[in-house]
Amino acid sequence: MSNSYIQLLEERDIKATAIRILVLKAMFEFNRAFNLPDLEIKLDTVDKSSISRTIHLFHEHQLIHSFDDGSGSIKYSICSRDCHCSMEDLHAHFYCNYCKKAFCLKNISVPKFELSPIMQVESVNLVIKGYCGQCSKFAT
Ligand SMILES: [Zn+2]
Ligand SMILES: [Zn+2]
């Protein structure tokens, strides 16, 4: 099992270390987007600065992408294997107003925009908000 994590890391030119494998495994276990506190809680035996350094490294090497779901903290999600975090790879995200979880909508690409020639897109944040269908909508 850890072989596939090693392979994923190496595909992104990241040297596989025990801590990086551990963090990557934890990321896969979420099945949703996560933020730094989510990982800190899940990996409570791991030093917080190592977790944060690992997130930055993974982000730099495009193993994960980040987005702003409007909750006030940056969320991260694991990239598809063929993702290069280019404009073509940008997709919408869903934020559940009830359970506060965010998910990738990888099959919904962000639309192309006609901008003035002097403008250049650097990022697009397309977040759809609503009820995820999985949580208890009326629990407060
Ligand atoms: Zn929900
Ligand atoms: Zn995503």
Ligand 2 midpoint to CA 104 (Å): 4
pLDDT at residue 66 in the model: 94
Q: Does residue 92 sit within a domain?
A: yes
Ligand 1 midpoint to CA 13 (Å): 35
- Which ligand places an atom closest to the C-alpha of 129? 1
Q: Does residue 108 sit within a domain?
A: yes
Q: φ, ψ for residue 26 (rounded to 5)? A: -60, -40
pLDDT at residue 87 in the model: 80
Domain span including residue 72: 2-130
Q: Does residue 13 sit within a domain?
A: yes
Q: Does residue 89 sit within a domain?
A: yes
Ligand 2 midpoint to CA 124 (Å): 12
pLDDT at residue 128 in the model: 96
Within 13 Å, how many C-alpha atoms sit on residue 10's CB side?
Answer: 7
- Which ligand places an atom closest to the C-alpha of 107? 2
Ligand 1 midpoint to CA 32 (Å): 11
Task: Please list the pLDDT of the chain residue by residue as tens digits (140 residues).
Answer: 578 999 999 999 999 999 999 999 999 999 899 999 999 999 999 999 999 999 999 999 999 999 999 999 899 999 998 888 888 889 999 999 999 999 999 999 998 888 999 998 888 889 999 999 988 776 55
pLDDT at residue 139 in the model: 58
Q: Does residue 139 sit within a domain?
A: no
Q: Does residue 57 sit within a domain?
A: yes
Q: Does residue 79 sit within a domain?
A: yes
CATH of the domain at 17: 1.10.10.10
pLDDT at residue 113 in the model: 83
Closest Cα partner for 61 from 2, 18, 10? 10
pLDDT at residue 112 in the model: 85
Ligand 2 midpoint to CA 136 (Å): 24
Where helices occur in the chain by DSSP H, the ranges are 2-11, 18-30, 36-42, 48-60
- Which ligand places an atom closest to the C-alpha of 135? 1
pLDDT at residue 123 in the model: 83
How many distinct structural domains can be found in the chain? 1
pLDDT at residue 1 in the model: 59
pLDDT at residue 88 in the model: 82
Q: Does residue 140 sit within a domain?
A: no
Ligand 1 midpoint to CA 118 (Å): 40
